[in-house]
Amino acid sequence: MSRTHFSITCFLYLFVLITVTAAVPPPISLLSPRQQQSNATQPICSEYSTIANLSIVGSNSTYRAAYLQASPEGYDPASAPLDSAIPKLPSFQFNASINAECGNLTEVAIKGAATNFTQGVVLQFNINSAVQLKAASLGMAVIMAIVVVMVVDIL
């Protein structure tokens, strides 16, 4: 195998590896279209919704584990927003004026998280594809290792 052919092959494998590992699914909103419109004009409702969604995922060990595994950021950066949202939730959840204005967004977050989890989604991550992406990355790494060993044996 020529050196040029080896370089092109390595470049192609590297390109495919980077492309596969960089794919991130788009965020999924847990709010209905009516709530999204009202949140656009009411920043407190948007904040309440965000805090409720992060708190529900952060306080449920199953959702939390799936979210942290799917996150490309790593454990500490991904867990920081969850941990900071949990203590903020009661000030929104038990505030009568906020609940009158926005509705009970904690209940919406609980139902939305359960529904999304059954569909393989936690917050903005497709947890099923995260497992598949990690498996694909591992498979590509194994292929690269085999190619390198074969080339070293030839040289």
pLDDT in tens, the chain (155 residues): 455 554 556 555 545 445 544 444 444 455 555 555 554 448 999 999 999 999 999 999 888 898 888 888 878 888 899 999 999 999 999 999 999 999 999 999 999 999 988 888 888 888 876 444 454 555 666 676 676 666 666 66
Structure tokens at 75: 């454990």
Look up the pTM and report it.
0.57
pLDDT confidence of residue 21: 47
Structure tokens at 44: 């407190």
Find all residues with CB under 8 Å of 53, minimum gap 6, and list them. Answer: 30, 109, 112, 113, 123
